[in-house]
Structure 1
Amino acid sequence: MKILSIIVPCYNEQENIVDFYDELLKNEAYFKSHDVDMEIIYVNDGSKDGTVAEVKKLHERDERVHLINFSRNFGKESAMIAGLERAKGDFVAIMDCDLQDPPALLPQMYEAIVNEGYDSVATRRVSRKGEPPIRSFFARMFYRIINKMSKTEIVDGARDYRLMTRQFVDAVLSMGEYNRFSKGIFGWVGFKNKWIEFENVERQKGETKWSFWKLFLYALDGIVAFSTAPLAIASFMGVLFCLLAFIFIIFIIGRKLMFGDPTSGWPSLVCIISLVSGVQLFCIGIVGQYLSKTYLEVKKRPLYIVKEEL
């Protein structure tokens, strides 16, 4: 019998643990008919509510339910990699606990892998119903920008919800970087991938853990991790402003020789200095981002620390 591993990152999701489990098990009959058993791996990412207690109750009812409990909050990326490292399945799925990733799609995703020869079946939202308009706007802009900068395609509306073969999972695990951006990693490893589209499903219970600021930082991580274009932009801007400064110097000398210096010119000088200083700080900031990621990589700290496992 083959095994399907379901990885479920959790952060303060006590209200959704049982609901997700019940919804997932609606697919149990289908997978049993295809000689596939399930294991469910809840990864508790430092929750401060009763998430761990709820998972332990499920474990007592169903031995197929497992728990990886982190010592603190390490982030969703760490939770996903912890689940992937411990998944025993021939097929592995990553799903959110809040039911925004419909478990009803799993049979369709499984059929695509087994019958159509795909290595990975991923999902993407075709709408952002329920999201604030400003958040949706910046999300779409992010995908446009990163796809212009990076050679790795990152699909607009892509979710972390996907079903993968063991070979695909092993390829993802072979990428041992500390600064992880899974949407980019899934695209970088290649293989044959299929996308399934669905309408956005709003969270059933609780509140989203992704604030605008957290999403901005995550997007910045993605750009830095899968593109060196910002460094090229910084270099181009440096050359451009050196050229403009040289032209301006020639202009000033020519005006001085031809007309003298009737005005002191300090307002224009202040504006130019401010502009050039701003560009310099911007470029240094870009270099700093890459340097900070390199610093984190070379320290070789673990991606997560496990407090307990079931």
Structure 2
Amino acid sequence: MTQSTAPETTVKLSLVVPVFNESETVALFIDSVSNVFDSEPLIELEILFINDGSTDDTLLRLLELQNVDSRIHVVELSRNFGKEAALTAGLQMCSGDIVVPIDVDLQDPPQLIPAMIGKWREGYEVVLGRRIDRDSDSWAKRSSANWFYRLHNKMTSSKIPENVGDFRLMDRCVVEALKELPESRRFMKGLFAWVGFKTTHIDYARPQRSAGTSKFNGWKLWNFALEGITSFSTDPLKIWTYLGLMFSAISFLLAIFIALKVIVHGIDVPGYASIMVAVTFLGGLQLIGIGILGEYLGRTYIESKRRPIYLVRQIYGSKS
């Protein structure tokens, strides 16, 4: 249970920051965080960077910054495991009373965190950062995101808040609950929603990236959406049961129609084109159904191996 925190009580805040090839942005991020929290004497700050197999000099930049700022801790993974795995590593290793996952590109502004802490002091265990202006994203990305949220929420019982990413404040009890979830194929937005707890939100306009470029392309976002839907819903499997019933009923009615037509008008030679259309259409549906079955079977196969979500190469700082 969350312990009530008096406004004057000192609290330890952990920022969990996954990074992959972000050498241009890490110094800007630290400067922005310092501008916010250097004047906050009641907040003990821990900045936990998870270096997710960067191939540029991100790690070198982080270590240089760590030499002048003892609040910085760096966990280097053995290779690139993906943002969800890096975020999981950060949540498992952070030590704060409250935890904020945040991207290093400053599109999720650190200036919003004190207001989040204010909501937490009021008794909320999760404070979401909800985007009310996504003009910094392309039209295609905004449209596909809206489509995904609506589709996902129609299919699952744990609803994902629309226009909410990983940027949120969580009480320690929420982080401990997340650490209890054992799956290796992780869709963190869905896991955040699944654990629940007392939740509120703060709206903000999302700015442009401070530097660098996004590492998510259309293909990665598509696979990310598939992971989200198949991790929390079996509706895609049910759909093919209903499609099978529908086409069986149509076939039965068509068979009756043909039989009556033959009885009334005599034998009718079917057209080659109509047969090919029917065969290829139904064959395509069958292949799509097999593909959806394969998606679920593949995820079950990966989970059954019980491989670790990530591997740590080295920890720089006082984390143990």
Structure 1 length-normalised TM: 0.96
Name 2:304's counterpart in structure 1.
298
**Alignment of structure 1 residues 122-141 onto 2, 5 Å:** 122-141=128-147
Structure 1 residue runs of 4 or more that deviate by more than 6 Å after TM superposition = none
- The residue type equivalent to 2:295 in the other structure is Q
Residue 96 of structure 1 corresponds to which residue in structure 2?
A: 103
Instruction: Provide the residue aligned with 2:180 in structure 1.
Output: 174
The residue correspondences of 1:97-116 to structure 2 (distance < 5 A) are 97-114=104-121, 116=122
> What is the CA-CA distance between 1:20 and the residue it aligns to?
0.4
Q: Residue 19 of structure 2 contacts residue 50 of structure 2 at CA under 8 Å; is this kept in 1?
A: yes
CA distance in 2 between counterparts of 1:55 and 1:262 reads 77
Residue 11 (structure 1) aligns with: 20
Deviation at 1:30, TM superposition (A): 4.5
The residue correspondences of 1:156-171 to structure 2 (distance < 5 A) are 156-171=162-177
Residue 197 of structure 2 aligns with an amino acid whose one-letter code is F
Q: Answer whether contact 1:30 1:107 (CA < 8 A) is retained.
A: no
Q: 69, 84, 90: which is aligned to 2:91?
A: 84
For 1:242 and 1:280, the matched residues in 2 are separated by 13
In structure 1, stretches of 5+ residues that fail to align are none
Question: Matched residue pairs, number?
Answer: 307
Provide the rounded CA distance (Å) in 2 between the counterparts of 1:117 and 1:41.
25
Residue 62 in structure 1 maps to residue 69 in structure 2: yes
The aligned counterpart of 2:7 is: none
Q: Give per-residue Cα distances to partners, 1:216-252, cap 9 Å, x unaligned.
A: 1101100111111111111111111111111112222
Alignment of 1:1-310 (within 5 A): 1-32=10-41, 34=42, 36-114=43-121, 116-310=122-316
Structure 2 residue identity aligned to 1:89: G
Asked whether the equivalents of residues 71 and 307 of structure 1 are also in contact (C-alpha less than 8 Å), the reply is: yes
The DSSP-based 3-state class of the residue aligned with 1:126 is strand
**Distance in structure 1 (CA, Å) of the matches to 2:129 and 2:262:** 65
Q: Alpha carbon RMSD of aligned pairs, Å? A: 1.2
Deviation at 1:41, TM superposition (A): 0.6
